[in-house]
Amino acid sequence: MTAPLRIGNASGFYGDRRAAVREMLEGGPLDVLTGDYLAELTLLILGRDRAKDPSRGYARTFLGQMEECLGLAVDRGVRIVVNAGGLNPAGLAGALRELAGRLGVGASVAHIEGDDLLPRAAELGLGSPLTANAYLGAFGIAECLRAGADVVVTGRVTDASLVVGPAIARFGWGRDDLDALAGAVVAGHVLECGAQATGGNLSCFDEHPLEKLLHPGFPLAEISADGSCVLTKHPGTGGVVDRDTVTAQLLYEIGGPRYGGPDVVARFDTIELHDDGPDRVRISGVRGERPPPTTKVCLNSLGGHRNEVTFVLTGDRIDAKPAFVRAQFEAALPARPAELVWSQLGDGRADADTEAGASVLLRCQALDPSPDVVGRAFSGAAVEMALAGYPGFHLTAPPGNGSPYGVYTAAYVPQTEVPHVAVLPDGSRVDVAPPEGTRPIQEVSSGSSCAECSGTRSTTVDGPTRSAPLGAVARARSGDKGGTANIGIWARTDGAAAWLAATLTPDRVRELLPEAAGLPVDVHPLPNLRAVNIVIDGLLGRGVAASTRFDPQGKAIGEWLLSRTLEIPEEFL
């Protein structure tokens, strides 16, 4: 029997805990250490870096981590696979070789190319973006590891590919090993966001001792030859691994039950979870299907410039003050921006015993193609109201210049149009062929017009009910994919899960979350996980970089939904 492959994670985003690489290398045995540094917003940031200096475009913090830990990784025989190459994986690979030479560490470095489609954007019908990166699969990473690479640097591969690639190299999977590949995709999806799988951002955080969650360790997966795995963490580290933490991450930023990628479609409705001891959860039963003929492309474009001012309104006659502020400020603007968005944060308690409790924040955001329209003249107009405005006038920050913002969009191109090249440690180049057998993903919509999905649900429950917040019976995690928000909701019993699936219809979601009124809402049941996944298209506008929403990445929408009150069967309470 081939021993399980132990793969850890040390980064969930560009800016994650710097010490995590050392913690994972020193905390216990590992075969591979991965790090996810990329997101749609990160590629925009790296694109602006590259525009200023073509030698940039990669996650520079990773170099700092390697300066501290590359020798340690080589000494312990741990191979490193990261997507920190961003828009310039060859540049980062070269910098790593230079670093290894300076440190006297015998580390071989390989990298992946082909995801950057910017030079061909017009040819492929992608317009004129700042960045255009296709999501590559895992087989190039496997080629690099088979060639002896100690470090593999990639650009925009799928997040899960960082885990799938080492598993392919270890177990010799081919394109037809769909179930095994799908199982590794699921393991990679759980690992990719670091401490979110070990107790971070957990909606039931208060059910664990405070000190246990103060510094959660990072996760690792013990992957078997059939693609099943055990999710765990190094012994003695903080945090917790249980069905809640694993379910929360499984539901994070997904759509329907078919989770598509360039190598395989993983069926999230086939996932089975089982306790496997303290801080150990076994994932098995994952079925895989043929990948789609197209792959996703992340496009970032400069959308214009933005600025904002926030007025503080306090105390007496607070209901009348917003209209006064809006009228006075808009009349004072030297030029009206293309978009002017007002939002109010807080309610201002009557008879409050603190000034903060008696106050609300009134925020005005401006977006415009011209930096001058939303520059200092915009914020300066607010300052000029200081002695001529509403009683109690003050702002949360001094005036400032505007800043550029980006717009993320997703496109799809045939996999056959995307080069996928593994550049091995000796400099030789291996072309990775796209999958030969593909099939379009056919996801069943669960919108209110879908009789198959919603017509058979019933909210009728025998027995008494009680008005209570949804959080009394459910847990949640939410996130973003561009302008789309997803909310994963799960229960701890089969009965409560069935009630969730029957109750949270698209129309009911719109009632509970009025900000979703008029937007497309899909609700996907995942019975094996005792969960449903809610997808709200357009809730986040044009994505985090351009969003004017209070919570631009939708990270807290799940917590808002859990706080909403509805009639819940007492048997589940």
Residues 548, 365: Cα–Cα separation, whole Å: 7
| DSSP-based three-state secondary structure for 356 | helix
Q: pLDDT tens, 361-382?
A: 999 999 999 999 999 999 999 9
- On the CB side of 369, CA atoms within 13 Å amount to 0
Query: By the 8 A CB rule, do 264 and 185 touch?
Result: yes
Convert 116-144 to b/e letters by CB count within 10 Å (16 or more is b): bbbeebeebebeebbbbbbbbbbbbbbbb
Of 115, 109, 108, the residue nearest 138 (C-alpha): 115
Q: Indicate whether 457 pLDDT > 50.
A: no
Are the C-beta atoms of residues 67 and 96 closer than 8 Å to each other?
no
Q: CB–CB of 124/413 below 8 Å?
A: yes
Domains and CATH numbers, the chain: 5-298+410-431 (no CATH), 303-406 (3.30.70), 451-572 (no CATH)
User: In this model, does residue 543 exceed pLDDT 90?
Assistant: no
Number of H helices, E strands in the chain: 14, 25
| Tokens 């690479």 sit on residue | 149
Q: Are 84 and 152 in contact (CB under 8 A)?
A: no
Give residues with Cβ within 8 angstroms of 184, minimum separation 6: 138, 160, 163, 164, 167, 168, 223, 227, 229
- What is the distance between the alpha carbons of residues 401 and 380, in angstroms, rounded to a whole number? 9
pTM for the full predicted model: 0.94
CB 395 within 8 A of CB 312: yes
C-alpha closest to that of 69 among 12, 35, 136, 24: 24
Higher pLDDT pick, 94 / 457: 94
Least confident residue range of 417-431, 439-453, 513-527: 439-453
Say yes or no to pLDDT of 358 above 60.
Answer: yes
3-state secondary structure 382-437: HHCCCCCCCCCCCECCCCCCCEEEEEEEEEEEEHHHCCCEEECCCCCEEECCCCCC
Which range (234-248, 400-414, 441-455, 504-518) has the least confidence?
Answer: 441-455
What are the backbone angles phi and psi of residue 142, rounded to the nearest 5°?
-60, -40
Specify the pLDDT at position 1: 59
Residue from 485, 491, 493, 457 nearest 560 by CA: 485
Instruction: Supply the pLDDT for residue 444.
Output: 57
**Residue 42: strand pairing partners:** none
Q: How confident is the model at residue 39 (pLDDT cuts 50, 70, 90)?
A: confident
**Mean pLDDT score across all residues of the chain:** 94
> If phi over 0 gives left and psi between -120 and 50 gives alpha, with beta otherwise, what is residue 304?
left
**Strand ranges (DSSP E) for 84-181?**
109-113, 131-134, 151-153
**Element (H or E) spanning 302, and its range?**
strand 294-314
- In angstroms, the CA 304 to CA 374 distance is 10
User: What's the N-to-C CA distance of the chain in angstroms?
Assistant: 46
pLDDT digits (tens, 9 = 90+) for 107-144: 999 999 999 999 999 999 999 999 999 999 999 999 99
Tens digit of each residue's pLDDT (9 = 90 or more) over 544-569: 778 888 899 999 999 999 999 999 99
Residue 467, strand partner residues: 567
What span, in angstroms and rounded, lies between the C-alpha atoms of 392 and 389? 9
- Distance separating alpha carbons of residues 314 and 352, to the nearest angstrom: 10
User: In percent, how much of the chain has pLDDT > 90?
Assistant: 88
Per residue in 199-208, pLDDT tens? 999 999 999 9
Q: Return the structure tokens found at 314.
A: 């306090």
Q: How many residues does the chain have?
A: 573
> Using CA atoms, how far apart are residues 163 and 156, in angstroms rounded to an integer?
14
Q: What is the spatial distance between Cα 121 and Cα 128, in angstroms, rounded to a whole number? A: 7
pLDDT digits (tens, 9 = 90+) for 142-182: 999 999 999 999 999 999 999 999 999 999 999 999 999 99
pLDDT of 260 above 80: yes
In sequence order, the 6+-apart residues with CB closer than 8 A to the CB of 491 are: 473, 474, 475, 497, 499, 500, 530, 531, 572
Q: Is 304 helix (H, G, I), strand (E, B) or coil?
A: strand
Cβ atoms of 237 and 200 closer than 8 Å: no
**Dist. CA 196–CA 222, nearest whole Å:** 18
E strand or H helix that includes residue 82: strand 79-82
Structure tokens at 428: 């030789």
Q: Are 453 and 446 in contact (CB under 8 A)?
A: yes
CB count in 10 Å sphere of residue 463: 8
Strand partners, 288: 266
Query: ∠ CA 374-481-400 to the nearest 5 degrees?
Result: 20
> What residue has token string 């270890």?
170
The pLDDT of residue 452: 37
